[in-house]
Chain A
């Protein structure tokens, strides 16, 4: 059975799930909530264990990918709360995660001046506890617990993890994407039939259009603006979408032989690009195939941005952080370019209320900047969403691929999850759960228990019937011995020998009355012919003394002592032939067919 707790149930942000599987405790992701600036931003780890060390309680921690809502609380958890066990993540995650944590730390501590936050050293110490895994590599955490990573798309290095103890298994998807994009492939999992699939459900109620239309629109807009001589500003977050858009523009520039410069703001993006260059195996087919000629992330047309370039005349495209236009470089450039109607700003993602991004997207044309300054926005404002989460269809597709016995939805809004839950139950006929934050769900499994069988017995038993058939269970005779915490199936003789017991034979007899005026041996013959016709696969014999044997079952026909018209069939079988014996009796009870001859 499993139980789950505490973070991210029906909420986007702060993923943290605790799974207990067959006595092992695994923590999946250790995210933080971007919306809070107090204690609520980190999961409540006291939930896991009130007293006693986390290291003793948890067998391992698994991080699915490097987004802060999946790994942001890791240094806090391992260094400040205290955890010394292994932390598993993929190689790209291990490489990029500390950069993001450091950046995050800088913003909170250096800019906002918060104290009681993890330090750079803590991030470093935390990363020392990380064990990196490869895709499809089965890692033995301890003797019983093993984990395996599958490709998840979403961002570079994102993975789904299968956690397996004995014959029970859980698959945790993290965030994943079932449609490929310009730089990453689609998530894939084999038919591993886990007992439970924990899936994200950010887009539980959305079915998206083909990505191509959106890409084409995006490119067309950029192209048109550049041809007009305008400047294009694309505010992005440092990682993930930025790279996708870079690849998109880079290939387009290459294809169309365009000359206008493209810039991206230096710093985090530059560092991240370096890692994208290194982890080519984690990208999509196109990039993997062409990297022999040229690594797609070594951009030919995209150069690093310098503040002075913003005033250069002529067309250009600039990627600048942050994505919501609330501060920093992107806002500076925006202010410079907003006045010209030839220019354009493309918002590639969602904007939080209150930010400049949100304001201009909702159609506001006059913005009040700090210092009572009014900024008139004449430039074109476009919205272009490229999301890297699986939509409802994608989630269903993954469930179809993995064929789980139970599904648990996390990382989404309750109302939307309700819809998906209903769909999953209806179409796959599996149980679906959607626990709230901090709620524990217990799922009962039907564990199969392995039993050792002696080879001799196995061979003997398989030789009896027809060919073994994978799809059907097969009946086998043997004695189960449970001794010293192990199960063995041995032949009855051996069991008797081991237990030092003598063998007793148990025989069933049964009388069946049949209305048949003929003589005894004639009745016997009729019974024989009848059985012979029906039981083609068995050896049916008519013995000279008038009795019939079917395999080892004996049938004798005698006249009834009182009524000569009634014949009594005596059926006798041993305990071992119970199945055939009872079948025969029921057959005979139905009576003989009206003889034609």
Chain B
């Protein structure tokens, strides 16, 4: 590398010189060492004007410098520095010095003295600032060297009196980054200076330039971050800075106050203008609360964010933040929240409010009203009403954090959070719903609050609704009316947005299991049973009815008296649901009901086991029976595949596993079928037309193996080998079929070559696995390899054919977890009869909303395909931001697909589907081989390994569109 660089430097050097006089250049070439420093030296000497020199330096800065020559380069730069009159060139040199000292492996202590010396005579403020910056770089590289740091800090202190803000800025930064933080460890002198550092920085809190003030506060924060304990005396200085004219100063000061409040929470500070004293953390809390109504939104966001992490604050201060005394015409007025609470506690429901319902009551003493509230009063009320949504979100977050640590505060802030559910910005709404969920352990919702919460269920945004369902999963409801209300609203939600079905059922499951006693009195009404009359049996396929049943069955789990209220059909429905929606319906102990208790009695809880057992048994059977007659093998395979598929449908946990193995067996079956064809024995010309089966089988196997490799998450190395092996067999089959059908050896030659290469790479990739593959196709093939390489294509084909037939069938070991990637397109639904009309040649945006399960890295792999009726296909890569991750293994794609086409006469359907793109280069096989065979993999041509393709993994959805011809 270094040699390469030197060579380049050399080239550059000659080039530069050639631009000069020619006879001179020849001479110089011999004289000059081809090192970078020399080249630079010459350049700088040659430079006629400052601008010229600057050009050289700029050019120079673009190239890296090797570690050995850094010092030399620095010396040359310094030499020029002293000679240079133009400040811009000096500035550039100074910045280059900093850049060079950053070079990895270079220790800058040798150039430090020189760098400090340059400061002595410098007049230009900008250059001074840049030099100090360079010193900062040097200092940060030499952090383990206290004397050096001390020295640099001294230098910085000396320049603090400079009249330029830039220099003072840099000095403070330097002190902040390098000032000594370890106290009293070594000498008294050091602790003395440590104190000094804080004092020095503190003195600049009152600097005339706001930028320097900011830098001073930042330096102080930097010291804190580096572990220095700041003195409490800074607190009152910082408090004064809160009233600064400049927002960046205020913003930094808020941070400083926060830091101090965390350091000295329990110290006592006096309240000005009174004799009282309060804890520092309370005082700081009050001050930061005050900043929530600052003029600058940056400060407001900062303040609101920091409030959340001040958990030590006393509770009455905390509760003040939600307090706002209302008045109207000098009379005390109750807030809507208070009124709602009162209505609730008086047992009355909203009375159809009239004008004047909120009429102010008592007179207030004008003297007692404090308009500019001191301290925390109403900080959150203001923050949540702020005009910028950034502030509102920060306030909601802070509320969340504070409420998590204080249950009483959580109770109080509920009203405000509920109000935020109606914010105009969706992010804020979502955030407040999430917040509510996080604090839901601490709270119980009142009915009127629940009412407001439930109203949001009609929101058209799926995110909001789902978040709300999650919230309802973990909320506590206080009354049975509440439960009823929630159920009614959820059912309304269900009829309005049928796609929410799963989410609603899940929500009701938790709602039921959390409130069994509240559900109990509702059961007769919900099931519409009657003590004397039989009521008609409800429709079992009605999602709403299922929802009700889910609620009841989950409640019944911990409420043994409930099943007594069920009618006959309820038990039947229970059995059915327990079977079909086992994840939502818990096992119940139903006394005296044989029908239910016998098949799924709760005593046999590990009922996954039989399924798993079944799976393994059936696979075992297949693997053992290799020596049956071909007919028998085929039949067995067919039955097993059918069983496995059914098992996958029934048992969702095993679906991935079952599908995976079924696919594998399917491949095997196809292979056997293809090899069993009678036509292999027939002379070639005769079955030309009949080769269809074998070649399609080969193609299908190839496709299936790609699916197996890329569509399942949890596939391990062992499986990958088997899959690749299967693919190799398919390729062999393909080769044989082609050999049979094509005349002439020319094309065959290439194919053989390619196949052998593949065998070779297979061997290299999976060399560690080969011992496990006794008697397999590859195993046999590798034995014959020397013969294959030398023989003619026709020979090869013959050998392949026999090995393929003789080879045994490999066991597919199953991994622990296997999940198949699935996708469901929720939108477009494909039900609309109204064509999407647009002018041809222009685009129309189609909203696509889909859920993806078990897709790894969906941002890279999931594509949307649009098929037009004329066979034209379009592949769209959704933006990474379009994917959301609502839960582990789940993703949601919400994107817009742009369609366009030339004009049609009739509306027609296009197909939209999701594809999973794969690239065998990125495959797991490559990953495995990298570890074993890293170097030669690089050498392999990518075309050989890099097969790219797509697997459709969602049902296609049809959309009616109608491009109209443009009107002119």
Q: Which candidate, A40-48, A93-101, A250-258, is the interface stretch facing chain B? A: A250-258
Is the C-beta of A219 less than 8 angstroms from some C-beta in chain B?
Answer: yes
Residue of chain A at shortest CB distance from B332: A207
Q: Which candidate, B458-466, B621-629, B835-843, is the interface stretch facing chain A? A: B458-466
Residues 201-232 of chain A: 1 if any B CB is under 8 Å from the residue's CB, otherwise 0?
00001111111111111011001000000000
Candidates A180, A257, A382; contact of B353 at CB < 8 Å: A382
Is the C-beta of A190 less than 8 angstroms from some C-beta in chain B?
Answer: yes
A423–B384 CA distance with the chains assembled, in angstroms: 26
Is the C-beta of A392 less than 8 angstroms from some C-beta in chain B?
Answer: yes
A65–B700 CA distance with the chains assembled, in angstroms: 75
Closest beta carbon of chain B to A171's beta carbon, Å: 14
Interface size class of B (residues with CB under 8 A): 35 or more
A467–B325 CA distance with the chains assembled, in angstroms: 47
Contact A216 B422 (CB under 8 A): yes
A257–B328 CA distance with the chains assembled, in angstroms: 37
Residues of the A chain whose Cβ atoms lie less than 8 Å from the Cβ of B354: 363, 381, 383
Residue of chain B at shortest CB distance from A210: B385
Closest beta carbon of chain B to A322's beta carbon, Å: 19
B window 385-423: CB within 8 A of A:
385-389, 416, 419-420, 422-423
Is the C-beta of B928 less than 8 angstroms from some C-beta in chain A?
Answer: no
Residue of chain B at shortest CB distance from A179: B385
Known: A190-B295, A207-B325. 20 other contacts (CB 8 A): A186-B387, A189-B295, A191-B295, A208-B326, A209-B326, A212-B420, A213-B335, A217-B353, A220-B455, A257-B460, A257-B496, A285-B387, A286-B424, A382-B353, A392-B327, A401-B295, A419-B330, A468-B208, A470-B207, A470-B208
Is the C-beta of A361 less than 8 angstroms from some C-beta in chain B?
Answer: yes
Contact A209 B245 (CB under 8 A): no
Residues of the A chain whose Cβ atoms lie less than 8 Å from the Cβ of B420: 212
Residues 626-658 of chain B: 1 if any A CB is under 8 Å from the residue's CB, otherwise 0?
000000000000000000000000000000000
Contact A206 B329 (CB under 8 A): yes
Q: Which candidate, B365-373, B550-558, B684-692, is the interface stretch facing chain A? A: B365-373
A208–B245 CA distance with the chains assembled, in angstroms: 29
Contact B452 A216 (CB under 8 A): yes
Contact B419 A210 (CB under 8 A): yes
Contact B422 A219 (CB under 8 A): yes
Task: Report whether over half of chain B's contact residues are helix, strand or loop; otherwise say mixed.
Answer: loop
Residues of the B chain whose Cβ atoms lie less than 8 Å from the Cβ of A353: none
Is the C-beta of B352 less than 8 angstroms from some C-beta in chain A?
Answer: yes
Is the C-beta of A495 less than 8 angstroms from some C-beta in chain B?
Answer: no
A180–B423 CA distance with the chains assembled, in angstroms: 12
Between A and B, how many residue pairs show CB distances below 8 Å?
123
Q: A191-B245, A207-B327, A362-B355 are in contact. Are A255 and B295 (CB under 8 A)?
A: no
Contact B208 A469 (CB under 8 A): yes
Is the C-beta of A305 less than 8 angstroms from some C-beta in chain B?
Answer: no
Closest beta carbon of chain B to A34's beta carbon, Å: 22
B window 171-225: CB within 8 A of A:
206-208
Closest beta carbon of chain B to A593's beta carbon, Å: 27
A214–B326 CA distance with the chains assembled, in angstroms: 14
A window 163-219: CB within 8 A of B:
179-180, 182, 185-186, 188-191, 205-217, 219
A window 85-138: CB within 8 A of B:
none
Contact B327 A205 (CB under 8 A): yes
Contact A210 B459 (CB under 8 A): no
A220–B372 CA distance with the chains assembled, in angstroms: 33
Residue of chain B at shortest CB distance from A467: B161
Residues of the A chain whose Cβ atoms lie less than 8 Å from the Cβ of B461: 255
Residues of the A chain whose Cβ atoms lie less than 8 Å from the Cβ of B327: 205-207, 392
Closest beta carbon of chain B to A508's beta carbon, Å: 33
Most interface-central of A206, A284, A396 (chain B CB within 10 A): A206
Is the C-beta of B293 less than 8 angstroms from some C-beta in chain A?
Answer: yes
Residues of the A chain whose Cβ atoms lie less than 8 Å from the Cβ of B425: 286
Candidates A191, A255, A284, A427; contact of B372 at CB < 8 Å: A427
Contact A254 B460 (CB under 8 A): yes
Contact A393 B424 (CB under 8 A): no
Residues of the B chain whose Cβ atoms lie less than 8 Å from the Cβ of A217: 336, 353
Q: A401-B295, A467-B161 are in contact. Are A285 and B389 (CB under 8 A)?
A: yes
A548–B476 CA distance with the chains assembled, in angstroms: 86
A191–B207 CA distance with the chains assembled, in angstroms: 19
Most interface-central of A256, A396, A471 (chain B CB within 10 A): A256
Residues of the A chain whose Cβ atoms lie less than 8 Å from the Cβ of B384: 210, 212
B window 144-173: CB within 8 A of A:
161, 163
Contact B424 A423 (CB under 8 A): no
Contact B336 A209 (CB under 8 A): yes
Is the C-beta of A24 less than 8 angstroms from some C-beta in chain B?
Answer: no
Residues of the B chain whose Cβ atoms lie less than 8 Å from the Cβ of A400: 372
Residues of the B chain whose Cβ atoms lie less than 8 Å from the Cβ of A3: none
Residues 311-342 of chain A: 1 if any B CB is under 8 Å from the residue's CB, otherwise 0?
00000000000000000000000000000000
Is the C-beta of B337 less than 8 angstroms from some C-beta in chain A?
Answer: yes
Is the C-beta of B381 less than 8 angstroms from some C-beta in chain A?
Answer: yes
Q: A285-B389, A383-B354 are in contact. Are A419 and B326 (CB under 8 A)?
A: no
A210–B423 CA distance with the chains assembled, in angstroms: 12
Residue of chain B at shortest CB distance from A401: B295
A256–B425 CA distance with the chains assembled, in angstroms: 14
**Pairs of residues from A and B, 6 with the lowest C-beta to C-beta distance, nearest first:** A470-B208, A383-B355, A180-B387, A213-B336, A212-B419, A257-B460
Is the C-beta of A281 less than 8 angstroms from some C-beta in chain B?
Answer: no
A179–B383 CA distance with the chains assembled, in angstroms: 11
Residues of the A chain whose Cβ atoms lie less than 8 Å from the Cβ of B324: 207, 209-210
B window 235-290: CB within 8 A of A:
245
Residue of chain A at shortest CB distance from B387: A180
Closest beta carbon of chain A to B561's beta carbon, Å: 37
Contact A419 B366 (CB under 8 A): yes
Is the C-beta of A140 less than 8 angstroms from some C-beta in chain B?
Answer: no
Is the C-beta of A380 less than 8 angstroms from some C-beta in chain B?
Answer: yes
A383–B381 CA distance with the chains assembled, in angstroms: 24
Is the C-beta of A397 less than 8 angstroms from some C-beta in chain B?
Answer: yes
Is the C-beta of A422 less than 8 angstroms from some C-beta in chain B?
Answer: yes
Closest beta carbon of chain A to B365's beta carbon, Å: 11
Residues 419-458 of chain B: 1 if any A CB is under 8 Å from the residue's CB, otherwise 0?
1101111000000000000000000000000001001001
A182–B422 CA distance with the chains assembled, in angstroms: 12
5 A-B pairs with CB atoms under 8 Å apart are: A207-B371, A212-B422, A256-B458, A381-B354, A468-B208
Residues of the A chain whose Cβ atoms lie less than 8 Å from the Cβ of B245: 191
Residues of the A chain whose Cβ atoms lie less than 8 Å from the Cβ of B381: 210
Is the C-beta of A416 less than 8 angstroms from some C-beta in chain B?
Answer: yes
A284–B327 CA distance with the chains assembled, in angstroms: 27
Closest beta carbon of chain B to A259's beta carbon, Å: 11
Residues of the B chain whose Cβ atoms lie less than 8 Å from the Cβ of A469: 206, 208
Contact B371 A393 (CB under 8 A): yes
B window 328-358: CB within 8 A of A:
328-330, 333, 335-337, 352-356
A362–B356 CA distance with the chains assembled, in angstroms: 9
Contact B460 A427 (CB under 8 A): no
Contact B355 A422 (CB under 8 A): no
Residues of the A chain whose Cβ atoms lie less than 8 Å from the Cβ of B460: 254-257
Residues of the A chain whose Cβ atoms lie less than 8 Å from the Cβ of B422: 212, 215-216, 219
A151–B384 CA distance with the chains assembled, in angstroms: 21
Contact B337 A213 (CB under 8 A): yes
B window 579-614: CB within 8 A of A:
none
A241–B165 CA distance with the chains assembled, in angstroms: 50
Residues of the B chain whose Cβ atoms lie less than 8 Å from the Cβ of A215: 422
Residues of the A chain whose Cβ atoms lie less than 8 Å from the Cβ of B330: 205, 416, 419
Residues of the B chain whose Cβ atoms lie less than 8 Å from the Cβ of A284: 387
Residues of the B chain whose Cβ atoms lie less than 8 Å from the Cβ of A186: 387
Contact A427 B371 (CB under 8 A): yes
Contact A251 B424 (CB under 8 A): yes
